[in-house]
Structure 1
Amino acid sequence: MLLHDLVTATDAAASTSSRLAKIEALAALLRGLGPEEIAPAVGLLLAKPRQGRLGIGWRSLSSLEVAHDAASHLSIADVDAALTRLASTEGAGSVATRRAELEALASAATAEEWDFLARVMMGELRTGALEGVLLDAIAKAAGRAAPTVRRAAMLSGDLGETAVIALTATPEDLDAVGLVVGRPVLPMLASTAASVPDALGIAGEASVEYKLDGARIQVHRRGDDLGVYTRNLADITHRVPEIVEVVRGFPGGDLILDGETLALDEDGGPRPFQDTMSRFGSESASELALKPWFFDILHAGGRDLVDEPLTARLLELERVAGEWRMPGIVTSDPVAAEELSRAALAAGHEGVLVKGVDSTYTAGRRGKSWIKVKPVLTYDLVVLGVEWGSGRRSGMLSNLHLGALDPAGEFGPPGGFVMVGKTFKGLTDELLRWQTAHFPTIETHRSEYAVHVRPETVVEIAIDGVQRSTRYPGGVALRFARVKGYRPDKSPAEADTIQTLRALLRG
C-alpha cells in the first residue's frame, strides 16, 4: 500500500468529529493492508513508530531543505525501512548518516506526505486516530468483538501485533492472547470527576487512594529476573535499581505490579514532577532516589488476577507489597473520602483516585471504574502567538502561545509578558473560527509556523500545575493546559503574573 493511501485515511479520520466515521475510515484502510504492512501502519497511525525512538528532533526536521516529489510513490514498506535505518544509526558519523537518510526520505515524499511523516516522527500527528478509536477500527476490519481485541491489546502490550493477529489469524489465536510475566501490558486508565462525592456517586463503594504527581511504573518479577516499565511500556530496569531492590524483597514467586514512583525531598515530601522525570529518564547514576508505591497487582505466584474484583486484588497486594502499598481506604462515605483527599493534598500530592471495589483490570478506554479527582487551577494569560493547525484544523489558527505578566520586569521589560507554554486543548470549532479571524487583525509578524500578535487578548487557561523549565525565560512551564474561554472583559494588565505561577513550584 502507498503512504498516500494512509495519509488520505488519516485526513478523513481527522476531518470528522464522529467516532463512528473515524472508525469506518480507519477500518477501510486496515482491510487493504498486507500482513507485513499492518504493524508499521498502526505505528504510523498512532505517531508511535514501531522502531521506538528515532533520534530525530525538531531541529533536525526544521533545518531540512529539500525538494519534495510531485507524485506519490512511497510505500508503507519503504517508510518502515527508512525508519528502521534511522533508529539503528549510531556511533561515529551517525549525525551525517541520519541527516542523509532524512533528506532521502523527505525528497522521495510529496509535501503532504512529508508533513505527515514529520509529525509522526515528532509524535504530533493529531489525526483523531487515538488508541481507543483504532482498537475499534481493528475489531471492525477483522470482524471481531471489540472487547476481545481490546483485551488482547492490553495483555500483549502491542497494538500493532494485536492488529496482525486480529486481521490475519483465527479467532482462537486472538482469544489465546494472555498475560505473560515479563511482557508489559497496557495500563488501566482513569476518567475524571469534579469532586470526591461525584466520583463516589459513580463508583459506589470504592478504594480511595492517593494520586501522586509521579511516573507510572509496571514491575514484572519472573524468578530472579525483574523488569520495570513505563506507562508507554519502555524498559527502564537499568535506570531504577532502587525499585528493583524493593520488589526483589517481596514474598511469593512471580509478580506483576502496577504503581507509581516519585522522588522525595529532605522532608519526605514529593519533589516537583520534573525532578522525578529527570531522574526517571537518566541513564547515569544519581543520588536522587525514587520511591515506589504500588496500587494494583495483576499476577502473583502463578495466578492471574486481572479478572478478579479489586477487593481480591487489594488483599493480595497487601500481602505482597505491605508498606509499599499506596495509601488509601475502602469506603462509600463521602466525608471519609474527602478527609483522605485533603490529607493527600496536604502531603503535596495531586489528589485521589476513586476505584470501584468490584472493578476488574481493563484498558483501552477511560471507563468509570477508576476516577481521578484533583483540583483544577485556572489563570488568565495573554496570547502572544498562534500556530497554524493541521489535519482537521488545517487552514485555521490553533495552538496558542501563552504569556504571563511580568510587572516588575524580572524576566524582561517591566510590564511585559513571559511565555509559559502552548495549548490547543479545549478549543471548540467556534473558537477556532473566531481566533482564525481575530488574530491576523492584531498581527505583528509571522514565522514559518505561527502568527505573532500584540499581547492584548486574555484567555482563561485551566492547568493541573506547573513545572520547572529551561525552555522558557521565566523558568516555569504549564502542565496539561487547556482553554476554558476568552475573557474580553479583562485587559492584559489584569493577567496573572509569572511570579504567581512560579509560586506554584515546590522547593
Structure 2
Amino acid sequence: MPTSLISLVSLCKEIESTRSRKKKVELLSSFLKRLDSSEIKPAVLFLLGRPVPESESRALHVGYSTIANALMVHQQHLPVEMNLTIHEFASMISKVADAKGGGSRKFRKDHLSGLLARLTEEEKEYVVRSLSGDMRIGANEGIMIEAIAHASSAPVEEIRMANMILGDLGLVAETALTRGRNAIKALGVNLFVPLKPMLAETARSTDEALKILGKAAFEFKFDGVRVQIHKSGEVVRIFSRRLTELTSSLPDVVEMVLKSIPAQSVILEGEAIGFRDRPLPFQELMRRMMRCHQIDEMMKLVPVKLFLFDILFLEGRSLIDKPYVDRWRILQEIVPSELIAPRIVTDDREEARNFFERSLSEGHEGLV
C-alpha cells in the first residue's frame, strides 16, 4: 500500500519533539524499513530538506518569493483533494525541477499552488520547510546516515563512503535497503559524477593541532572557491563543494588543467582564488562566478590562480581509500609544483607558527 505524505509529516513531528539522537535514529530506521523501494529516496530527501539531490544538475529554482506567491494563490481556493502519497509528491516536485525556458517561472508557481491545494495545514508546513531547505527537525545528514546504516545492517562508514561517492543520500538509502551491503560496497568513483568533499575539523591554533595530532600536515587556507576537477582526455569539467557545475565560469582553469596535467583520467581537488599579484577579495571572485555572459572580460578583470591539494582518482583507479600521505605523493608526481598548495609536515611548534604567519603575510586566511 502506498505510503501517505501525512505519515511522513507525522514522522517529522515525532523526530522534532525528541532530543535523543538514538531515538531519532530508531524512528528514521523503522520508517525507512516500512517504505516501498520507490518511496525511500524521496522520503530521505524530503526529511533532509533537499527535494532534488545535490549531485543532480536539475534544481527547483524555488525561492521565498515563488513559495509566497504559490501560498497566496492557494489561499484563494479551497483544497481540491487530500491524501497525497510520497510517490505523488515526488512526481510533482520532479515536474517543477524539470521546468525550463520561457514560462517556467509561471509553471513552477502554478504547479506549487496546485500542490499546496492538496495538502492539509500540517503537510503544508513541512512541505514549505523542505522546499526552502530549512527543515529544522533535528534529522541532519549524520543522523540520517546512522539511520540508513541501522535499517540496512551496514556499517556507518560504508554508508558515509557511499554518500561521498554518489552525492545523493536518497539513492544511497534506496540502494542499501533494496540491494544490500554488497551493492553499497561495490559502488565506485565515476568520472564527471562529483564526489562530496572531505571536510576538516577546526582547531584554535597550530599548537592545538599539534597537541591533538602530534605530527601534522599544514596547508595554506585560501579565500576562494573549492573546486573538484574531473578530466578525461581533452574533456574537463569542474564542480563546486555543493556539487554544482562551474566549468563555464572557469575556462582559464580548464586551460590550466589541459596544459599542465598529463594524466588521461583524473579527479583533483583544490581551490580557485582571484589573484592579481596578491589574492583578491572573495567578493570580486564571486562577482566573476555569477556572470553568465562576457566571461572573457571577467577573466581579465578577475584572473584566477589554482591551488590543488588532493587527488581522488587516477587512470581508472579510485584513490579515496588510500592514506592521505600516499595521495599527496601521487599528487606531487603528476601536478606541477606551481599548482600545488603550499604545505609542510611538522611536529615543531615554531615551524608551524612561522608557516601560519607566512600564509597571512601572503594574503591568505591561515592554515588547514
Q: Same fold (TM over 0.5)?
A: yes
Paired position in structure 2 for 1:102: 112
Letter in 2 for 1:293: F
Paired position in structure 2 for 1:296: 310
What per-residue deviation string (whole Å, max 9, x for no partner) do you get for residues 402-441 of structure 1? xxxxxxxxxxxxxxxxxxxxxxxxxxxxxxxxxxxxxxxx
Change (3 A) 1:121 1:194: same
Equivalent position to 1:331, from 341, 346, 362: 346
Paired position in structure 2 for 1:340: 355
- Note if 1:245 corresponds to 2:255: yes
Q: Tell me which protein shows more helix as a share of its residues.
A: 2
- In 1, the alpha carbon distance for the partners of 2:278 and 2:229 equals 23
Measure how far apart 1:69 and its partner are.
4.5
- In 2, the alpha carbon distance for the partners of 1:90 and 1:7 equals 30
Aligned pairs, how many?
351
Q: Contact 1:53–1:87 at 8 Å: present in 2 too?
A: yes
Letter in 1 for 2:132: M
Equivalent position to 2:365, from 341, 350, 356: 350
Amino-acid identity (%): 34
What residue ranges of structure 2 are gaps of 5+ in the alignment? none
What per-residue deviation string (whole Å, max 9, x for no partner) do you get for residues 251-293 of structure 1? 22211111111212x442232x233233234322123233221
Letter in 2 for 1:8: S
- In 2, the alpha carbon distance for the partners of 1:42 and 1:269 equals 40
Change (3 A) 1:94 1:306: closer
Measure how far apart 1:216 and its partner are.
1.4
Paired position in structure 2 for 1:115: 125
Q: Contact 2:229–2:268 at 8 Å: present in 1 too?
A: yes
Measure how far apart 1:72 and its partner are.
5.3
- Note if 1:58 corresponds to 2:73: no
Paired position in structure 1 for 2:213: 203
RMSD: 2.0
Paired position in structure 2 for 1:318: 332
- In 2, the alpha carbon distance for the partners of 1:15 and 1:293 equals 45
What's the secondary structure of 1:191's corresponding residue? coil
Larger RCO, structures 1/2 (Cα 8 Å, 6+ apart)? 2
Q: Contact 2:227–2:272 at 8 Å: present in 1 too?
A: yes
What's the secondary structure of 2:279's corresponding residue? coil
Letter in 2 for 1:26: L
Paired position in structure 1 for 2:16: 14
Q: Contact 1:262–1:270 at 8 Å: present in 2 too?
A: yes
* 1:131-280 pair list within 5 angstroms: 131-249=141-259, 250-264=261-275, 266-271=276-281, 273-280=282-289
What per-residue deviation string (whole Å, max 9, x for no partner) do you get for residues 188-246 of structure 1? 01111111111122222221011112221111112222221111212222221111111
Measure how far apart 1:350 and its partner are.
2.1
Letter in 1 for 2:64: W
Paired position in structure 1 for 2:37: 35
Q: Contact 1:270–1:349 at 8 Å: present in 2 too?
A: no
Letter in 1 for 2:117: S
Change (3 A) 1:40 1:274: farther
- In 1, the alpha carbon distance for the partners of 2:147 and 2:320 equals 24
- In 2, the alpha carbon distance for the partners of 1:305 and 1:94 equals 41
What residue ranges of structure 1 are gaps of 5+ in the alignment? 354-507
Q: Tell me which protein shows more strand as a share of its residues.
A: 1
- In 2, the alpha carbon distance for the partners of 1:119 and 1:276 equals 31
Higher mean alpha-carbon deviation, 10-19 vs 135-144, is at: 10-19
Bigger-Rg structure (1/2): 1
Paired position in structure 1 for 2:4: 2
What's the secondary structure of 2:66's corresponding residue? helix
Paired position in structure 2 for 1:83: 93
Q: Contact 2:159–2:172 at 8 Å: present in 1 too?
A: yes
Higher mean alpha-carbon deviation, 50-59 vs 161-170, is at: 50-59
Change (3 A) 1:88 1:181: closer
Measure how far apart 1:167 and its partner are.
0.4
